[in-house]
Structure formats: structure tokens, C-alpha cells
Amino acid sequence: MSGGIVSWGVYLPYWRLERAAIGAAFGTATARGTRAVASYDEDTTTLGVEAGRRALNIAGVPVPEDLFFSTPAPAYLDKTNATTIHAALGLPAGAGAYDLCGSVRSAWATMSLTALSGERRPSMAVISDLRTGLPGGAEESQGGDGAVAFVFAPEGGVAEVKGHASVTDEFLERWRVPGETASRQWEDRFGEEVYVPAARAAFTAALENAGLTIDDVDHLVVAGLHARAVGSLRKSLGVPSDRVAPDYVARMGNLGAAQAGVGLADVLERGSPGQVVVVLELADGADAVVLRTTAALVAVQEERRKAGSIGVAALADQGRADLPYAVFLSWRGHLRREPPRRPDPERPDAPAMRRNESWKFGFSASRCVACGFVHLPPTRVCLSCRAVDRMEPLRLADVRGTVATYTIDRLAYSLSPPMLGAVIDFDGGGRYRGEMTDVDPEAVSIGTRVEMTFRRLYTAEGVHNYFWKARPLSDGAGATDEDAGSVDPGGKERG
């Protein structure tokens, strides 16, 4: 069997911002549609964790032995962000974790390096971006937040690389110096004059390298932050319009570093074996790769359906689009909101985080091997049978649960009040009291079905405090699973 991509996952945040809200605030005309917005408790690391979970939550996917993470907006500098993703995904200590950050083009290098590593052992590429522009600008309106992940392995690949080519040119079209939150751009026509010839050259060379012609192309993905150049190339490369993959920018925004990967994931979800896919990305030059899908694609698509994976097109249509523009600005740091009248949180303690890594990052409980009682957080002494040191770890990050009770706290410290605290009963055992996110306080109720999501609780003195929160399942607050039953903390059904 051939190697290559064996699984993929895409994550888009819950929130959407209507572009019309930006125009209304400034009294200007804006484009139609929405953009995906990372919540106040999300950053590029948490987005990457969610995409990685979706790539691994498929039957038969091997455990990655290398993890490569890329983003132009890292949560940390001078600290590896990939190690946080590694811990949250529960990967073994023997698996490497590395950052390739700094620019959109770094994402292409991440995919290339992961593909090479995947020829020898299972490897994962995680790419995320959080696009922030100045208020009222095109970057703010047209950008979007999201992440994509791919798992590569020596066998079972769904797409083989047939050819590739790159064109590099040093020119100043987009830049951001350290400390700035928004990129700057040169005049649009200048970028288009440079990008279009470079992209044409890379596209032609990649097809020649693969021994193919334009007529052989079944799917074309064109991505890049220069909208004019991308739009021009989508129409002028000679590929019929029905073979040019949709970019969904009108509904989710341009995801920057993650845009090309999300486009490839969309094609893999819709494609058939034996088809030729060309991915063309514009960033400080142009890169193109030619792939041909294999017979393994059908089986992977079926496993994704069984796992309940949602396609890119459906994800683009989801999301809550009533986010106030002022709230968006406060989340992005452009509008300083009065903080809650409570003491600021203290900086998380590094030794304590290290001692509790499996709980804090992996959300692993302990289960008593004597009686089966599940403890959250993990403990040495069983609360049910009092057995000592007879525990086994139990990862609950991917286990669903049910709201047993909840409270709406309007006084607690939160960047998006009110805070909703809930007691969650997990399927199969375990009860936990924690925060909920991505939820309408008026819609939640006892019995609401939830899943866990990795979030940033707060940042204090430059240290991010990551942990897990619960959120309603995508099928709506109050939804229940008929086959889930009602479970007590000891794992015994109530009826």
C-alpha cells in the first residue's frame, strides 16, 4: 500500500461575525457574509488541538510519532507551542513536537516536512491561524480563524504526490514586525503583478514534473491572502470553473495559513479515487503540489462518516452569527473593556502544571481497578471503596457527557460574562464541575448533552492557563443521545 495522508481534521470556531456589523459601526459599505471568529478563550494552540482531535478520532488512524505545528500567530514565543498540542492530544512522550512558525508560507514547509517524515513513521501536521486586522480594515473583514490537521503514514495513503514546484521571490507585499497585532500590506496591484506570474510558473512546472496537463486536473485549490491574485488565478489558469474548489471565504473568511489545507480537506471529503488534485498557494512566492487520490480514499471517507465528522461545506454554514462587533473588538484587544470587579487571576505555577500534565492537558481521570469508580480530578484513594493506589488513567477528553446541574455566575472573573458553571456526568462514569463555553445561557438546561473542548482559561503575567471546558453538542443545546443512558459517577446506569 502507498503512503501519504491517511486522515485529516478541520476545526472552525463556534462564533461568526457579520461583515455588515463592521460597516454599521463605521458607516461604510462592507462585503456580505460572515467570518469565523475564535472566542475569547481560544488561540492558535487551542484551534490546533481541536483540528488534531478530529484527525485522530477516526478508526484505524495510527498514533503520530512526530508532530509539526505551524501558525503565523503563536501563543508563545521562545517556547514550543506544539508541546501543548502534543499533551492535549495525549501523544506518547516518545513522539516529537516542533514549531514552524512566523509566516503563512511556513505552513507549506510544515506539510512538506510532515510528508517526508510520514514516509518513515506516522506523523501529524497541524496548521492554524487567527487573522486580526485593524478595525474597519479589509484584513479584519475578510480574514477568518480556523485550523486543519493531517496525519501521514507509510501505508494507507489516500493521495500520492505526483509532482511539485516552487517559485521564490523577495518582495515586500505583506509584513508584521514583532509586537504588532495586525499585518500591513502594500498596494494591491503591486502584489498581483508579482504573485500571478509566480503562481503560473509554479503551477505549470508542477504539472510538467508530474507528467500531466491542465486537462488532467480534476480539482484545483488556490489559496493565499492576496484576494485579487487568488481571484485572478482561479479564473485564468485554464482549469474549468466546475473543477475549481470552492474557498468558502464568503461564509468563514480567509483562514490564512490554514486556507490551503482546508481546501485540500474539502476536496478529499468530496473526491473519488484516481482523481488529480492540484494545490496552489501564494505566500512570498508560490508553491504547487500535484496529488492523485488512491483507492484507500473511499474507506477513509466511510470511517469519517461513521465517526460523525462534519465536512468543510457544512462547517462553513454552522456557527452563531450574532456576535456584537464591540465584543469582537474586546476579544481582539482593540477595545479595552472594564474587567470584572474581582482580583486578577494569579500566574499558573509551572511545577504544579508539570506534576498534573495528564490531567490538565490530557483531561485524564483515574479509575479504581477494584470497583470501577471514576475520579475527576485523579486521586490515589478511591472515594467509593477506599482502595489506595489501585488506579488506572482514563482519558475523558473525547467522552461525551450530560449536564446534571448548572449555574449562571454574573460576578465571576470572565472575559465574556456571564460565566456558566456546570456539573457534568460523563458517559461510562465520572462527574466533574467546570466551565461551559460556546453556549447560550438561556438555552442550556439539565440534560443538555456536551463534549469537551480545549481552551485557554486566562493569561496572567505572560503565562497561558490552558484547560478543558464543556460545550453543547453541535446538534443543539438540550439534545440527548437515545443510546447514552443516564450514568452516575460510579459508572452504573440509573435507568
The per-residue pLDDT for range 102-115, each reduced to its tens digit, is 899 999 999 999 99
Confidence of residue 384 (pLDDT cuts 50, 70, 90): very high
Inter-residue contact 390 to 368 (CB < 8 Å): yes
Average pLDDT over residues 90-103: 96
Secondary structure string (H, E, C) spanning 429-455: CCEEEEEECCCCCCCCCCCCEEEEEEE
Query: For residue 490, what pLDDT band results from cuts at 50, 70 and 90?
Result: very low
> Looking at residue 148, what is its pLDDT?
98
Tell me the C-alpha distance between 178 and 126, whole Å: 23
* Whole-number Å distance between alpha carbons of 366 and 385: 14
Q: Is the pLDDT of residue 485 over 60?
A: no
pLDDT at 410: 84
- pTM recorded for the entire structure: 0.93
C-alpha torsion 470→475→478→483, nearest 10: -90
Q: CA–CA separation, 273 vs 270, rounded Å?
A: 10
Segment holding 164, helix H or strand E: strand 159-168
Per-residue pLDDT band at 493 (split at 50, 70, 90): very low
Would you say 35 and 141 are in contact if contact means Cβ atoms under 8 Å apart?
A: yes
**Residue 124, Cβ neighbours under 10 Å: how many?**
34
Under the banding of pLDDT at 50, 70 and 90, the label for residue 187 is confident
Distances (CA, A) of 100 to 81, 107, 456: 10, 7, 21
